[in-house]
Amino acid sequence: MMTALQRYWLSMADKHDLKVDVPYNLQFADGISITAEVRLQGYGAVNGMLIVSNYSVVESRSDDIVRMGYGYSCLSQPYEEEIDSDEGLQEILNDWGKNQT
């Protein structure tokens, strides 16, 4: 079942021609993997931004994530009425910056 955060990013991807992977599984060299709710391609680090609603998903592997060319951000789950609203989206994208890929 999709989270509200995943539905939000799928809606924004559709409205603003963004590329997202929902969910996104990242495997580390030691075989351990994490699952981010969303990966937004084209922003933040070279491999995109991993978006989670629970920091514990990335906390223990944050250095590895950055070394592998990803950025990450912890965002709260939107309310149902916010899922189709792009208010604040441009500010988030500007903060992360468009990458050069």
Residue 82's nearest CA partner among 1, 24, 3, 21 is 3
Backbone torsions φ then ψ of 92, nearest 5 degrees = -60, -50
Sequence-distant (≥ 6) Cβ neighbours of residue 2 within 8 angstroms: 10, 22
Per-residue pLDDT tens digits for 78-91: 999 898 888 889 99
Per-residue pLDDT tens digits for 7-63: 999 999 999 999 999 999 999 999 999 999 999 999 999 999 999 999 999 999 999
Does the pTM of the predicted model rise above 0.85?
Answer: yes
Residue 31 Rama label (left phi>0; alpha psi -120 to 50; beta): left
